Amino acid sequence: MSSVLVVDGANVVGSVPDGWWKDRAGAARRLHERLLVADTGFDEIVLVLEGQAKAGVRAGRDAHVRIVHASRDGDAEIREQARRAGESGAKVAVVTADRALAANVSPAQVLSPAWLLDRL
């Protein structure tokens, strides 16, 4: 069985007070670069970006990381990506600290940004 990790890019970037708000595109690019070399134990990583962060990384696939640009609402896109992955038979986990989002991605496992950052 394959495994898919859906990453709430805004939530992960926002969990580290490193000045990301001054350069959202740059913060998204740095997260993407770290995901490319991370050992997460998942076959595929789906990085969902929204707003200004989309300018930092083009949409598409880069090795085992697939970048998705949310057309409007990042949470809706994360739910959709988790749903699709689950329907394909994959084991799915979502990285977010957003409680409302976490409550709506069942049966996907929810992992914290700290869990992911520990693996970067």
Q: Does the structure show a pLDDT above 90 at 53?
A: yes
Q: In sequence order, which residues have a C-beta less than 8 Å from that of residue 20 and are 6 or more positions away?
A: 13, 14, 26, 27
Q: Structurally, how many domains does the chain consist of?
A: 1
Q: Does the structure show a pLDDT above 90 at 106?
A: no
CATH, residue 11: 3.40.50.1010
Q: Does the structure show a pLDDT above 90 at 72?
A: no
CA quadruple 82, 87, 92, 98: dihedral sign? positive
Total-model pTM: 0.96
Give the domain extent around 19: 3-119
Q: Does the structure show a pLDDT above 90 at 63?
A: yes
CA-based nearest residue to 69, from 52, 84, 82: 52
Of the CA atoms within 13 Å of residue 30, those in its CB half-sphere come to 14
